[in-house]
Structure 1
C-alpha cells in the first residue's frame, strides 16, 4: 500500500487584515472595499519559501531522530530565493537529513505541488524509499491589486511511503495545456493576470473536470462517493461550481481557508489536504485538484492508521494562533516594496564568506552543537576543543542536535539602537534542555512575550540579506512556545 505516511503544514503567525489594505488604498482603488473581508497570512520579514518549507517539514516529521528513512526530498515552489543554488539542499541541511538523500525541485506552475506528489508516488512504487514532498510560496503582488488581498503565504509537507499509510493513494489524472491564466517572466517579481471570466469559463470549468474524470477512472471511484473535495481558487464559489460539473456532492466541498489565510499558491491544495487529514475518518475518499497550465487531480482513501497519526502541531494549530496585523506599511516593507530609512547603522556590508559557511553548515543550517563524550557538556559552535577550565580536551565532541529541543530564556534585551527590519531588535541568552547556551535573536514576538524563564522553541529563519550580491543567509531564532488550544486538533472519529 502506497500513500501518505505523515503530514503537516505551516502558516505564518501574522494575518494581514484585508480591511486595513482596502482602507489604505481607498483613495486610489475604492473597489477593493468589496473584497475587504477576513485576512490573509503574511510572512514575517525573516520568512520565505525555504523557511516555511522547513517549518512544514518539521511539523510533518516530528523529532529529528525519526528522519533516517527519508531517501528523497521534493520541493515545489514558484518563489524560491535562488535561481541557481539547490534550494532543496538548504532544506536538507536544516532538517539534518543524510547526505545521500536526493533533493529535487519543482516549479513553473501552481500545480507543481501535486506534480511533486505524483512523482513521489512513482518513486516509492519503484522502490526508492520514503519521499518527503514540500510545497511553499511567498508571492509578491502590486500595491492596491486584488492579488494583494487574495494571496497568502504558507507551506505544506507530506511524507510518501508504503506500508502503514494514513491515506492510500488510489489514482491521479493530469491534463497539460498551455492555457495562460497568468504568467511571470524571468527576472520579474509580480504576475501578470488575464481576464477572470475567460479563466473561469474557458480554463477552469473545461479543463479541471477532465483531469478529475481521469483520476476517478484510474482510482475506480465514482464522483458521488467522494467525501472531501479540495479545489483552491481565488474565484468565489469556483470550487462548488467545479464540484457540480464533476458530479461531486456539494456537501463534500472543503473550505479552502480563503477567508482566513488567502490562497497560498503552490502548496495550498496540499495545505488544505493536511488540514482535512486532521479530522478525516477512516474510509473517507479525498479528491484534490488544482488548475494551472492544464489541471491535475489525485485521490486518496483514509485508512485506520489516521487514528493514531498526528503532526507535531498541525494546520489547525497555526490557524488558531494567528495574530491580526493592521499595519499596511509593515506589510509593504516586509515584502520589499517600501524602502524605509535605515540610518548609518544599517549601512554595513553583509557579505557572506561562503567558504566559512560551508565548513560550519551543520552548525549554521542544522543547529548542530558538539557534546563532549567525557564531560557531557554541550558546546556551540562545536569544535575540536572542549574548553573545560584547567583541563581542555581535544576531539571528544560528537554531534548534538539542538533544533528540536526546548529551551528557556536566561536573559533578554529589546533595543532600537541597532538597525532591524522589525524593531525592536530582540535577542538574549538561551539555555537548552540537556545543555547548551546560545545568544540568539527572537522572532514572532510582541511586547511582553519574552521574560527570563520563558520557554522557547527554535525556528529556521532568514538571518540577514546581502542586498548587494542578492544572497540570503539563514540561521535559527527563538520563538515563545504557545500552548496548543483544545480546538487545535480535531480528533478523528
Structure 2
C-alpha cells in the first residue's frame, strides 16, 4: 500500500495518415523528407482535439471503476483548444464527475506531462488525481515536424492504495534550451536545426541529467528493465542508454512508425504502453525533454497483474483506418480553405445560458429513468415518454455515455454540410432502453448497417468560427 499509479489508459485516434502521402505532396519542394516518409502517424478526426482525446484516455483508464474517488483532474497539453476556459473542467463535465472536483490545466513545455505527473505523485492531497496528457498539433506543411508529429492521449490514476507502479525517485533539470518554440496565438512551431539539438540538447543536457538522476536514486544503469525516451530523433534513445550504462534491450519502442511523436503526451503514452505488459519487480526509467529534463524511476508492483485498461495503447493501435488523403488532413487542420457552399453559412453561436442549464445532458450524456416504470429516455424531462404512463416528476439521472447502443436507422446525407461528407446520422437505441438521434463518427458510410453495435464518444459538435467557441456533444462510433 502507498501512493503511486493506481491505473492507466490511453487513446490513439483511428486515422493513420501515411507518410508517403505527405512526401507525394511535398517531395517536389522538400525532397529531404524522403528519409522520413516511412510508416504512418495517428491523426485525430476533424471533430477531435486535446480535450476529446483526453476524455477517451480517461475512460480507458477508469473502466468500470467508481469515479466517486476522483478528487481532481489535471490536463497537460501544449494544444489546449481554449486559452481562457478551463479545458480540464470540460473533461470533468464529460466524465460526469462530482462538482466538488478540482481541475487544472498545465502547459508551456513538452515536459508538461511529466512535470505535472511528478507533482501528482508527490502530492499529499486526499483522493485520486486523474492525470491526463493530450496533444493534437498543427505542424507546418512540408516540415520535418509534420512527418513526426502524431495525435494521442494518455491517462494515469494517481493516489493512495495498492499501486501498479511506485515512484522510487524523480529528478528535474530546468534550462532555457530553445530547441523549438511557438508564440502565443501562433498555429505552428518554429524548429531549430536538428543536429544542434542532438549535440547540445540531448547529448549535453539530457545525458548528464539521466546520469545525475541514477546517482541520486542509487541505481546502476544495468538495473533498469525499461528505458523510455519520448524523443522523435532516431538513435537518440540508444545513445542515451549507452551513456547511462543501460542495456540496449531495455530501450523501449518510441512508436514513431505507428503513432508519431505526441508532444507533451508522448512520455505518459510510452509509460502506459510499458505498463501494459510490465512484470512485477521491473524498474522503468522515464526521461522527458523540453527546456530541461524530467527523470522518473518507477518500480512495478504485484498489483499490475490484476489491472488492465479497457484497450490500452495496443488496443487503440489495432483500431486503425489507413488514410492517404493528404488534402483532407490539411482541411481538417485548418490549413486548406475550401468552398464549403451556402449550406455551411449558418451561425453556430452557442447560447451559453442553455449550455449551463443542460450541461449534464450535453456534456455528460445524462438522460432520465422513470422511477415508477423504469422507462429510460434522452433527454431527461419532467414527463415520462412511457406510452402507458406519462408520469410527471418521477425521473432520476441516468448516465448513458458508457451504455452500449446499436443502430436502428441511418442516413448518409450528401446535401447537409459536413467537414467529412457525407454527414452520417440516425436513430440509435441503448442497451436496456432509451433512444436518441445521433451523428456517427469513425465509420465509413458504406459500413453502416442496422443492428451494428456502437459506443458513445465525446466529440466536437461544431465550431463557432466567428467567436472561436467549440461546441461538444456525444457521437456514436463502432464498438471496439
User: What TM-score does the superposition give when structure 1 sets the normalisation length?
Assistant: 0.95
Counterpart among 149, 154, 157 of residue 156 in structure 1? 154
Counterpart among 185, 188, 194 of residue 187 in structure 1? 185
- The count of aligned residue pairs is 479
Aligned to 1:9: 10
Aligned to 1:425: 423
1:38-437 alignment runs, 5 A limit: 38-63=39-64, 66-123=66-123, 126-389=124-387, 391-437=389-435
Moved more, 203-212 or 169-178: 203-212
User: What TM-score does the superposition give when structure 2 sets the normalisation length?
Assistant: 0.98
Shift in Å, 1:11: 0.5
Give the direction of change, closer, same or farther, for the CA distance of 1:373–1:183 in structure 2 (3 Å limit): same
Aligned to 2:33: 32
8 Å CA contact 1:172, 1:216 repeated in 2: no
Shift in Å, 1:393: 2.3
Distance 2:45 2:388 in 1: 45
Shift in Å, 1:390: 6.5
Distance 2:219 2:30 in 1: 47
8 Å CA contact 1:18, 1:149 repeated in 2: yes
Distance 1:299 1:360 in 2: 44
Distance 2:215 2:62 in 1: 32
8 Å CA contact 1:73, 1:88 repeated in 2: yes
Aligned to 2:463: 465
8 Å CA contact 1:19, 1:37 repeated in 2: yes
Distance 2:108 2:198 in 1: 20
Moved more, 151-160 or 213-222: 213-222
Aligned to 1:22: 23
CA deviations on 1:271-310 (whole Å, 9 max, x unpaired) are 1111111111111000111110111011111111111100
Please provide the CA RMSD for this pair: 1.2
Shift in Å, 1:17: 0.4
Aligned to 1:487: none
8 Å CA contact 1:174, 1:214 repeated in 2: no
CA deviations on 1:298-330 (whole Å, 9 max, x unpaired) are 111111111110001111011112111001101
Distance 2:22 2:129 in 1: 40
Shift in Å, 1:209: 2.7
Distance 2:193 2:398 in 1: 54
Shift in Å, 1:141: 1.1
Distance 1:211 1:161 in 2: 27
Extract unaligned runs of 5+ from structure 2: none
8 Å CA contact 1:450, 1:480 repeated in 2: no
Shift in Å, 1:218: 4.4
Runs of 4+ in 1 over 6 A off after TM superposition: none
8 Å CA contact 1:170, 1:218 repeated in 2: no
CA deviations on 1:107-150 (whole Å, 9 max, x unpaired) are 10001000110111122xx1422111100000111111111100
Shift in Å, 1:391: 4.2
Distance 1:165 1:474 in 2: 34
